[in-house]
Structures are given as structure tokens and as C-alpha cells.
Structure 1
Amino acid sequence: MLGSGQWGQEETRELIFIRGELERDFTAAKHNKTLWEIVSARMKDRGYTRTLDQCKSKWKNLLNRYKGKETSDPENGCQFPFFEELHAVFTERAKTMQRRLLEPEAGSGSTQAKKKVKRTTTERSSDEFSEGEDEDESEEEKPARGISHKRKKSDSTVLDKSPRPNSGTSTGLQEMLREFFDQQLRMEMQWREMMEKRAQERQLFEQEWQHWMEKLERERLMVEKAWREREEEMRRREESRAERRDSLLTTLLNKLINDNN
């Protein structure tokens, strides 16, 4: 089925059902682009091809209708058809938020904490739905047009309920920082030892190379000296043969001259 045009009722109910299955993940996640991709993939598995932007836009439209005047208007006979499905999703959201708020304050036993949890669970309708709509915003979208007075009150209440750091957390953070700096120091010492070792190896290699080059130079000089001595010996022999040849020719010429006379 192509993902274009109007949304059918069955397709819309599938979207609400899939979004409800991932409600806990949407509540816990800061960036929900990946979750909307999962919603789009599950819609495709059920025969409805819709992009993540289409699913997100449809969900915002459903939220606006659920919160607005179109939710239920008996006088005009305009009944929102998906009220029960969305009401079940947001009821589950309220329960999830209650459990998350109880976890940091478990074991404290303070009356003030119990009053805060009770007040948060009773403020169900518009504040929670506004938070849900803001969580569904992607990084590329602009923020909503404005923040109401109730939204500010709800945000301050949630901030009051957030767990505050204690001495144990500070001690653990200090231990982590100390271990980090110790590790950096050990790595620096290892790096210096490695560099010193490489410098020593390079120095030994240069000494061996220099010794080898000196040996080659000595051998070259010896070969050149032997070659010069051999050339000198050959030159002397050639001169000696030339002198004997000249002497023999002179003797023969004198003998011939004497014989003619």
C-alpha cells in the first residue's frame, strides 16, 4: 500500500498501536529520530509504507486533536474516533513517569516526596501531552510556538524531583578523574621510554653504518693501491722490453753496416 494521500482508520490505529509499544523508549530517549525510523519500518511490515516524517506529522496531528476542542464535543456531535486508543497510550505514559520519579527517591520515606509524586500523577492531561509532543520533535525541526504557564510549572516540578548529587557521587567522580590522570601519566612514560629506545637503536644503527662505510673505504683504497702498483709494474716491464728492442736493433744495424764495408 502506497504511503501517500489520506490516512485510513485502520492505518491510523496501527500507527497509534506501534507508537504505544515504543512509549517507554520515546519517554527515555533524548533524540528520537531512530525510534521514528523503527515506527516507519513496523508500519511497512504491516503493509503501510509511510516515511518517518509522515508518521511523526500524523502523530502530532492526533495529539492536537486529542488535546483540542475536537477531542470530544457532544454539542456539535463531533466525536474524535481515536480518543480511547490515545487515552490508553497517555495513561501508560503517566504510569511510566510515576515509576521513573519513584526510583531516585526510593527508600527516603519523606512526606514531601510522596506529595510530589501524587501531584505529578494527578496532573495528567495537557501538561503531559505537551511534553510528549515536544519529545517527538526532531533535531532539524524548530521549537514550538510558545510555552504555557502550566508547562513552566511542570518543568520546575520535574527539576525539583531530579536526584541531586551526593558525596558518594563526588567521591566516585574524583576516583575516575584520578584513574584517568594516572593512566595518562603511565601512557606518557611509556611513550617516552619507547622514544628513548628508538633513539638508542637509531644511534647504534648509525654507528654500524659508519663503521661499515669506513671499512668499504679502506677496501677501496687498498684495491686502488694494488691497481696502481700493478700498472706501475706493467709500465716498467714495457719500458724494459722497449730498451732491449732498441738495443737489439742498434746492434743489428751496426753489424750490417760493418758487413757492407
Structure 2
Amino acid sequence: MMFRSGGGEGDVGPGWINMMPTAAMLSPTAEISPRGPPPQHPQWGLQETKEFIGTRAELEKDFTVTKRKETLWEIVSAKMREKGYYRRTPEQCKCKWKNLVSLYKGKETSDPENGRQCPFFEELHEVFTERAKNMQRLLLESEAGSTQSRKKVKRINGDRSSDELSEDEDEDESEEEKPARNNSRKRKGEKNVAAKSPRASSSSFGGVQEMLKEFFQQQQKMEMQWRELMDKRAHERQMLEQEWRRSMDKLERERLVIEQAWREREEQRRIREASRAERRDALLTALLNKLISEN
């Protein structure tokens, strides 16, 4: 079948070319352009969130899984897909868990009385309670392992000590087979050791007494030096106070002398002013009398 568009017969015109993209867009098998908007993931529902928390709680019992975060969230994502929910990536599960933990901790710390009104509070509380139990169990197991290792060390030490004792017994038996001369020498050596042991203990006790005596002497010497230093400082402070008082007394005397001199000058000034006023009054009186007599 031919289409004509402004040309001769049998030519494929621009109309056919313009129709091809429309047909491609209408085709159900057409590929989506990579430049298009990414698909939006639906929000988490209540039931899906509860199942998510339950799955996370089931995996909390297995501590080997929870230690590796990447494997943990991959397992959670796979279990959610098995339960028939929307396909969630491990990163989405991780972000959702972080948001739930932040919400739980915020409600628990800011408003502990009304914290149970928070959605999924009970489910999250069970998860964290199980985590605390696991940590306590691991702590007890580690302590039990340490005690068992200590018991093994003690047992090994006991075996070694028993071996050493058996070796000592063998040596004693071999020594009993030696001549009597060696036995007498051994007894003499034991007597010498027994005689030396109290001497050694007395010498060590005397050394301790000597050390204590030196220590007390040093303490007394330091105390005497401290007292001498304090007496010296007290004497210096007393001398400074006396010097300060003498300087203050001197300043006070100088102030009194200056004040007395000022008062004397003021008194002399008032006397001069009074005499000057008297002379002026006498002069004025003489002038008035002269004028009156002339008239």
C-alpha cells in the first residue's frame, strides 16, 4: 500500500515520516526514554511498616546478621518481597528504619509519659528490648569464657606444679642413695640456711626501720623549713605594715602643717582687709567733716 503526499505515485512523502513517532508512542512495546521522570515509590502503609518492624525484630535475634548492615538490609528487603509487599530496596529499608528509630527516641526522651501514643512504639520497644537482652547474653558469655580460660590456666599451672613436685621427689630419692657424707653436708647446709634466715629477716626489718627513720627525719626537716619560711614572711609583712604606718603618719603630719599654714595666711589676710577698711572709713569721715565745715 502506497501513501501519496505531494509527490508522484509510489513515493513516501513527509506524511509517512511524521506519522512514525506517533505510532511509536502509541505502541505498547515502545521503550521509555531515559530522560523521563523516575518512577515514584508509594508511601509506606501501616501494615507494611508493622511487617517491616516485625521482620527486623526477627533478625535481631541473630547477632551475626545484625553486625553486617549491608547483609541485614538485603535480607529485610528480600523478606518483604516474599511477603508480597511492594519491592523495597535495601537503601529504602535502611532509611525507613533510621526514621523510625529517630521518631522512637525523640518520643521516648522528650515526652516519656505520652511516648506510647507514638505509632509503632510497642513494636520498636520490643526490638530494642531484644537487642538489650542479646547484648547482656553476649556479655555473660564473654565473662563465662574468660572464667573458663582462667580455670584452664590454673589447671595448667597445677599440672606444672605437680610435675615439678614429682621431679623434686625423684631428686630426693636419688639424694637418699648418696653416701652419708653428702647427707651430713646437706644437713649442715640446712642448719646454716635456718641460722641465716632469722638474720636476714632481722636485717630486712632493721632496713625498714632505718628507712622509716630517714623518712620521719626528712618530714621534720621539711616542716622546720616551712615554719621558718612562714615566720620570715610574717616578719616581712609586719615590717612592711610598720613602714606603711610610718609613711601614713608622716603624710598626716605634713597635711596638718600645710593646713595650719593655710589657716594662718587666711587669718593674716582677714586682718589686713579689716585694717584697710578702717583706714578707708577714717578717710571718708575726714573728707565729709571737711566738706561740712567749708559749707
Superposition TM-score, scaled by structure 1 size:
0.43
Structure exhibiting the larger radius of gyration computed from Cα positions = 2
Higher normalized contact order (CA 8 Å, seq sep 6+, divided by chain length): 1
Identify the structure with the greater helix proportion.
2
